[in-house]
A and B are shown apart, each in its own frame.
Chain A
Amino acid sequence: MNPRRIGGDLSIVAHGYLRNPVALFFSLIFPVILILLFGLIFASTGATTVTLYAQDFDHSSTSVAFLRALNETHLVQVQVVGASVGNLSTYLGQNGDSAGLVIPQGFGQNFTAHRPVKVILYTNPQDAASAGAAAGALQGVISAFNLEAACGGNSSGNCTPIIGASSLNVGSPTYSYIDYLVPGLIGFSILTSPMFSMVDVTASYRQDGLFRQLSLTPLTRGEWLASRFIWYTMLTFASAALMLVIGSAIFGAHVTFGIWLVPFLIVGPLFFVSLGMLAGTVSRTPETAAVVGNVITFPMMFLAGTFFPVSSFSPGLQLVAKALPLYYVIDGMNQVLLFNNIPRAIGDLTVVLIGAVIVFGLAIYFFKWRDE
């Protein structure tokens, strides 16, 4: 590795890039257009139905009926989560959700025996609309249940309420669509700027004999790759800065820069520069390379949490998302920028890093400058 040669090559890459309006558009301008577009569209549409995450420790016919009744209010949509997610408040905080309900064990038994029992409602005071909807729906259902059980058909008797609710706050701010869009679109540029050009560059340089031309100079394959990697990392930093600034300045996104963002802005490009090169190397012609590149890029472009948070997907689609490398880049950046959940970010980073090392190794193995 010789810095002078890498620098020389880098200046060639930069010249080529800065003089190619299409490449520049895709790397820097396009994500800006997207954030403005999506930001405007979704900022104006208010909250739809509130999702109420319910953790049911009771699993009785009563608790199931209780949740169904909540659903039927149409104020909230109940989404049952298992005990495995752990503390519901933490879970909500990490996922940026604002409403949750815990039904304790013994809820059904106590209710049948007319012993008082309490459910716990988590809401987020910053998200007044959701909190109001959730509390309203819960109060309505509780009243209906109490009325039916305690005073059922006996309107003269003393109707002691059986079910009560204690209300707790979710310890994190609420997140809006734009908040997810910032890391999503940073991920979009990490994916698309190397993938769209590296695939093509690798395939067409080989076809045009440019790699053979370079093999006649002291530049090594490693140095060539290093200069590309540095370039795309620089582009990623520029794009991330743009997204953060536009997101918070124009749309008031709740993103806070954390130093842990930096490794994602380095390992992400490393992964996709290598993947792009690998795709370009294994395809015979630039035309096939373009197809291979698109087959890899497009599913990730939409399903990895770029434009819409993965948590809003159906469970099946969420599984698909988790099979995509970009998901871990974007989820990790969500953890850093939104939820400040560094351990989970490190987990994501590890996945991306391992992937990057594998793809990089394969790319270097298959990438040859001259005919063997």
Chain B
Amino acid sequence: MANAIEVRGLVKRYDALAAVDGIDFDVPEGSVFAFLGPNGAGKTTTTEMLEGLRRRTSGDIRVLGLDPWTDGRELHRQIGVIPQEFHFFAKVTPKEAIAYYGRLFDKQPDPDALLDQVQLTDKADSRFDTLSGGQKQKLGLALSLVDEPRVCFLDEPTTGLDPHARRAIWNVVRDLRRDGRTVFLTTHYLEEAELLADQVAIINHGRIVAHGTPQEIIETYGGPERLRVQGSSELAEYVRQRLGIPVRFESGRLEIALREKGDALRILSAIDASGFPWTGFATERDTLEEVFVHLVGQMDEGVLKSAAPTVEGTP
């Protein structure tokens, strides 16, 4: 599969600050790529360089084979963009806005269908300055779809939306993917990335600290799978002594890391043999969110500052 987006050694400096500090990644055509990172990580800066709105300091970008900065006009006919803060003409209604974009792009969009897709039908004839933040964002999304883009750039499309509206946006993203379009998405919501993205990159301080499918990232950076059992502190002490492994105990719950395949069975039979009362066991692993917090926290403590490992891999 060809790559819709290719980024090599991308750097953006603002005086002393390297807002984007040498990043590389590819986004295969037809896939959903999620860019995760804390505030100020460099997500918007990267996104806008990909869209041709900001000039890069160095490195190379190809979007659909075009350089976004120099071939912007040609590229813009093939991409859809929703900026982090979407603004539009104050006195214009969503319906008129879609008609306007239709004329600019020489397309015949169906305003009703588009507004329905982003769940904005009830505000079709309200002026932009009377829309709520989330409704404005939805209009931004609808407008980005007018030119039937091959690649969509969505910078925090669901921030500030209610859960219902977020699901509507997720469905739009899924529709886009089903139609074979590429989606580049930034978000703070880890579950969103986990749910929608084929690939995720976590960026912090302008560097990619983890990259791969959500599964790969969890496996590489998450802690091991854990066994949880309800029991007493005596039981915890017993398991520690008996098996010589670390056991975390907190408010009536034991938590034991599983290192090997047979660990769970071994531990459970030891618990059962102990004679202490115990109930309900379960195994669980880190969510992407936990990995994210862990990775970003580590980096801010300086652990990962110098070397930023990445996992390369395609699903």
- Residues of chain A whose beta carbon lies under 8 Å from any beta carbon of chain B: 4-5, 7-9, 11-12, 15-16, 19-20, 208-210, 212-213, 215-219, 370-372
Contact with A213, one of B72, B79, B83, B92 (Cβ below 8 angstroms): B83
Q: Please judge, given known A-B contacts A4-B106, A372-B55, whether A16 and B87 are in contact too, CB under 8 Å.
A: no
Chain B nearest CB from A301 CB (Å) reads 26
Does chain A have a CB within 8 A of B273? Answer: no
> Residue on A with the closest CB to B144?
A216
Question: CB-CB < 8 A to A208: which residues of B?
Answer: 87
Across the interface, A371 reaches (CB within 8 A) one of B53, B88, B92, B101, namely B53
B96 within 8 A of A: yes
Chain B residues whose C-beta falls within 8 Å of the C-beta of A11 in the assembled complex: 96, 100
How far is B48's CA from A213's CA once the two chains are assembled, in angstroms? 11
Rounded to whole angstroms, the CA-CA distance of A19 and B51 in the bound complex is 33
Pairwise interchain contact A19-B91, C-beta atoms closer than 8 A: yes
From known contacts A12-B92, A15-B91, A217-B76, infer whether A212 and B83 are also in contact, taking CB-CB under 8 Å.
yes
| B77-106 interface with A by 8 A CB criterion | 77, 79, 81, 83, 85-92, 96, 99-101, 103-106
Which residues of B have CB within 8 Å of A371? 53-55
Cβ of B88 and Cβ of A213 under 8 Å apart? Answer: yes
Provided the pairs A215-B53, A218-B73, A218-B76 are in contact, do residues A209 and B83 lie with their beta carbons within 8 angstroms? yes
Asked whether any CB of chain A lies closer than 8 Å to the CB of B127, the reply is: yes
Interface majority SS on A: helix, strand, loop or mixed? helix
Known pairs A7-B103, A370-B53 / 15 extra A-B pairs, C-beta < 8 Å: A8-B103, A11-B100, A15-B89, A16-B89, A19-B91, A209-B83, A210-B88, A212-B53, A212-B83, A215-B53, A216-B81, A217-B76, A218-B73, A218-B76, A371-B53
Lowest 7 A-B CB distances belong to which pairs? Answer: A8-B103, A208-B87, A19-B91, A16-B91, A217-B104, A370-B53, A216-B76
How many angstroms between the C-alpha atoms of A218 and B100 in the bound complex?
12
- Cβ B72 vs Cβ A215 within 8 A: yes
A225 smallest CB distance to B (angstroms)? 15
By the criterion CB–CB under 8 Å, are B92 and A16 in contact? yes
Determine if A217 and B83 form an interchain contact, defined as CB atoms under 8 angstroms apart. Answer: no
Q: Which residues of the partner chain B approach A215 to less than 8 Å between Cβ atoms?
A: 53, 72, 76
Residues of A within 8 A of B96 (CB): 11-12, 15
Q: Across the interface, do B55 and A16 meet the contact criterion of CB distance under 8 Å?
A: no
Chain A residues positioned under 8 Å from B127 (CB to CB): 19
Given contacts A8-B100, A12-B100, contact A216 B53 (CB under 8 A): yes
| Cβ contacts under 8 Å, B79 to chain A | 216
Of A15, A19, A217, A370, most buried by chain B (CB within 10 Å of CB) is A217
Q: Please give me the residue from chain A that is nearest to B86 by CB atom.
A: A213
Asked if residues B55 and A5 are in contact (CB atoms below 8 Å), the reply is no
For the complex, what is the distance from the CA of A326 to the CA of B47, rounded to whole Å?
Answer: 46
Instruction: Evaluate contact between B89 and A12: CB separation under 8 angstroms.
Output: yes
Residue of B at shortest CB range from A369?
Answer: B53
Kindly identify which residue among B73, B83, B92, B106 contacts A15, using a CB–CB cutoff of 8 Å.
Answer: B92
Residues in A with CB closer than 8 Å to B54 are 370-371
Most central of B52, B53, B72 by chain A CB within 10 Å:
B53
Interface residues of B in 14-40 (CB under 8 A from A): none
Q: How far is the CA of A271 from the CA of B101 in the complex (A)?
A: 29
Q: Are A20 and B83 in contact (CB under 8 A)?
A: no
